[in-house]
Amino acid sequence: MTAHKSKFSVTILGSNSALPANGRNPTSQLLNINNHYYLIDCGEGTQMQLRKYGVKMQRIKAIFISHMHGDHYFGLVGLLNSLHLLGRKMPLEIYAPEALEAIVQLQLDASGGRLQFPIQFHVLNAPDQGSTVIYNDSELQAKVFRLKHRIPCCGFLFSEQIKERTYLPEKGASYNVKIEEIPYLKRGEDVTREDGTTLLSSDFTDDPPKVRTYAYCTDTLPLKRTVEIAQGVECLYHEATFLETEIERSKQTFHSTAKQAAQIARDAKVDQLLIGHFSARYASLDQHLEESRPIFANTELTVEGKEFEIN
């Protein structure tokens, strides 16, 4: 297995729940795979955060909205309008609950304006069990699954596309491998030359790096299903709106505590846990870590502006 050379990271744009407070913004994250950008949720002020952290927002190819609570999408129309004003022509894919399309359309229609770029709107339909593929491009595959919140809410599994095998130039040089032969070897195909000799792909290439996966689970009660779906992922984002002292409030509002997020991460045997969607009642987040780390040591807070490399 060769090391990862390609980029796979998540930048935190907003980490609070419900309302901006304690210097924290409502939920949004930017996924970067080889400089292809994807936005996950779009709380109010997301475009300000993209500006603040120097993100080239025209690079965003697709936006994934988990559910219809405002702290996860109130920033969308503002962002769309700015993309338009900045001259975007490239289509934008939006994956969201059905209700969002009419809301966006109403806001655009009321201003009499028209966007210069097409939006391709896709209604999210999570299966009762497991996950289904909703998106594929050259870099990313995204799957959707069901969470349990007051209103329908989706989780997402974001994976790199399966990569080609890694070519070993020193071995190739010793056999005079030609440039045009390399793509076949990288795809795992053997090459037979005109003189009858065969180059085995396995002699000149290494296994591709393991496909990395990021699971995004916001606004949900802790679920067995999440443990199954996020099993073995490199990085799990799980909401931790509350601490255990607020467990009753957490249940009533269909959220999770930092301890419950850690239990999910431990049971799913993930490499790293990011917690977020913090209630405005917590000025400091130290206790979230104190509650999570004894159960799952590799827990990090989703601090805004921080970029987490997934390896």
Sheet holding 131-136, edge to edge: 131-136, 140-146, 154-160, 213-217, 235-239, 272-276, 299-301
Residue 214 contacts residue 220 (beta carbons within 8 Å) = no
Q: Which residue reads 């206790």 in tokens? A: 287
Please identify, using beta-carbon distances, which residue of 213 and 279 lies nearer to Zn ion: 279
- Tell me the window of 102-110, 112-120, 204-212, 213-221 that interacts with Zn ion (CB under 5 A): 213-221
Q: Does 219 bind Zn ion (CB under 5 A)?
A: yes
Interface with Zn ion: number of residues (CB under 5 A): 2
- Tell me the window of 24-32, 123-131, 176-184, 217-225 that interacts with Zn ion (CB under 5 A): 217-225
Please identify, using beta-carbon distances, which residue of 82 and 253 lies nearer to Zn ion: 253
**Which string of x and - marks every residue 160-199 that binds Zn ion (by CB under 5 A)?**
----------------------------------------
Residues between 48 and 77 with contacts to Zn ion, criterion CB under 5 A: 69
For the chain, helix, strand, coil in percent to 5 are: 30, 30, 45
- Min. distance of Cβ 212 from Zn ion in angstroms? 27
- Min. distance of Cβ 286 from Zn ion in angstroms? 24
- Min. distance of Cβ 66 from Zn ion in angstroms? 8
Q: Does 239 bind Zn ion (CB under 5 A)?
A: no
- Min. distance of Cβ 67 from Zn ion in angstroms? 6
Q: Does 225 bind Zn ion (CB under 5 A)?
A: no
- Min. distance of Cβ 45 from Zn ion in angstroms? 17
Residue 91 contacts residue 117 (beta carbons within 8 Å) = yes
Residues between 113 and 152 with contacts to Zn ion, criterion CB under 5 A: none
Catalytic residue among 71, 137, 195, 206: 71
Please identify, using beta-carbon distances, which residue of 17 and 263 lies nearer to Zn ion: 17
Please identify, using beta-carbon distances, which residue of 27 and 32 lies nearer to Zn ion: 27
- Min. distance of Cβ 211 from Zn ion in angstroms? 30
Contacts of 145 (CB under 8 A, 6+ apart): 126, 127, 130, 131, 132, 154, 155, 156, 157, 225, 229
Distance, in Å, from the CA atom of 154 to the CA atom of 63, rounded to the nearest integer, reads: 13
Please identify, using beta-carbon distances, which residue of 241 and 272 lies nearer to Zn ion: 241
Using the 8-state DSSP alphabet, how is residue 4 labeled?
A: P
State the DSSP H helix or E strand holding residue 171, giving kind and residue range, or none if neither. helix 169-174
DSSP string, 206-268: EPPPPPPEEEEE-S----HHHHHHTTT-SEEEEE--B-GGGHHHHHHTT--BHHHHHHHHHHH
195 assigned to active site? no
DSSP string, 102-131: HHHHHHHHHTT---SS-EEEEE----SSSE
Please identify, using beta-carbon distances, which residue of 201 and 253 lies nearer to Zn ion: 253
Residue 264 contacts residue 228 (beta carbons within 8 Å) = no
Give the residue at shortest CB distance from Zn ion: 69
- Taking alpha carbons only, the member of 115, 110, 31 closest to residue 80 is 115
Q: Which residues bind Zn ion (CB under 5 A)?
A: 69, 219
Q: Give the active site residues.
A: 71
